[in-house]
Amino acid sequence: MCYTALVLSVVILFTLGCDNQNSVVIDSNAKERLSSTLKAFVDSGRVAGSSALIFEKGKEVYFGAFGDADREAGTKMNRNTIVQIYSMTKPITGTALMQQYEQDKFQLDDPLADYLPEFEDVQVFEGMDDSGNPILVKPKRPITVRDITRHTAGFANDGNAPYVGELLQEANLFNFENTLEQTVLGLSKLPLVFHPGEEWYYGPSVDVQARLVEVLSGQPFEEYLNEHILGPLEMNETRYLVPEKDRERMSSVYGGDENGALIQFPDQQAHNLNINEYPLRHGGWGLTSTLDDYQTFARMLVNEGTLNGVQILKPETVQLMATNHLADDVTERLWLPGKGQVGFGIDFAVRTAPPADENENQGVVGEFFWDGAATTLFWVDPANELTVVFFVQKFPFDMSLHKDFRKAVYDLSFD
Q: Work out the average pLDDT over 321-335.
A: 97
CA–CA gap between residue 198 and residue 315 (Å, rounded): 30
Find the angle CA(231)-CA(392)-CA(177) to the nearest 5 degrees. 60
Q: What is the pLDDT of residue 259?
A: 82
Q: What percent of the chain has pLDDT over 90?
A: 92
Q: What are the pLDDT digits (tens) for 237-257?
A: 999 999 999 999 999 999 987
Quickly state the pLDDT bin for 414 (edges 50, 70, 90).
confident
Domain residue ranges of the chain, discontinuous segments joined by +: 3-96+222-410, 108-218
Q: pTM to 2 decimals?
A: 0.94
266 contact partners, CB below 8 Å, separation of at least 6:
none
Spatial neighbors of 33 by CB under 8 A, at least 6 apart, are 407, 408, 409, 411
Q: Which pLDDT score, from 0 to 100, does residue 11 have? A: 40
Share of the chain above pLDDT 70, in %: 94
- Say whether pLDDT at 7 is over 70: no
Residue 413's pLDDT is: 75
Query: Binning pLDDT at 50, 70 and 90, where does residue 17 land?
Result: very low
Contact 321, 94 (CB under 8 A): yes
pLDDT of 4 over the 60 cut: no
Q: What digits encode the pLDDT tens for the residues 340-357?
A: 999 999 999 999 999 999
Span 24-30, mean pLDDT?
Answer: 97
Q: Is the pLDDT of residue 363 over 80?
A: yes
Mean pLDDT of the chain: 94
CATH entry 3.40.710.10 includes domain 3-96+222-410 = yes
pLDDT tens profile 375-403: 999 999 999 999 999 999 999 999 999 99
**What is the 3 state secondary structure string of the chain?**
CCHHHHHHHHHHHHHHHHHCCCCCCCCHHHHHHHHHHHHHHHHCCCCCEEEEEEEECCEEEEEEEEEEEECCCCEECCCCCEEECHHHHHHHHHHHHHHHHHCCCCCCCCEHHHCCHHHCCCCEEEEECCCCCEEEECCCCCCEHHHHHHCCCCCCCCCCCCCHHHHHHHHCCCCCCCCHHHHHHHHHCCCECCCCCCCCCCCCHHHHHHHHHHHHHCCCHHHHHHHHHHCCCCCCCCECCCCHHHHHHECCCEEECCCCCEEECCHHHHCHHHHCCCCCCCCCCCCEECHHHHHHHHHHHHCCCEECCEECCCHHHHHHHCCCCCCCCCCCCCCHHHHCCEEECCCCEEECCCCCCCCCCCCCCCCEEEECCCCCEEEEEHHHCEEEEEECCECCCCHHHHHHHHHHHHCCCCC
**Structure confidence at residue 2 (pLDDT):** 45
Sequence letter at residue 207: D
CATH code for the structural domain at 108-218 = 1.20.58
CA-based nearest residue to 34, from 373, 341, 406? 406
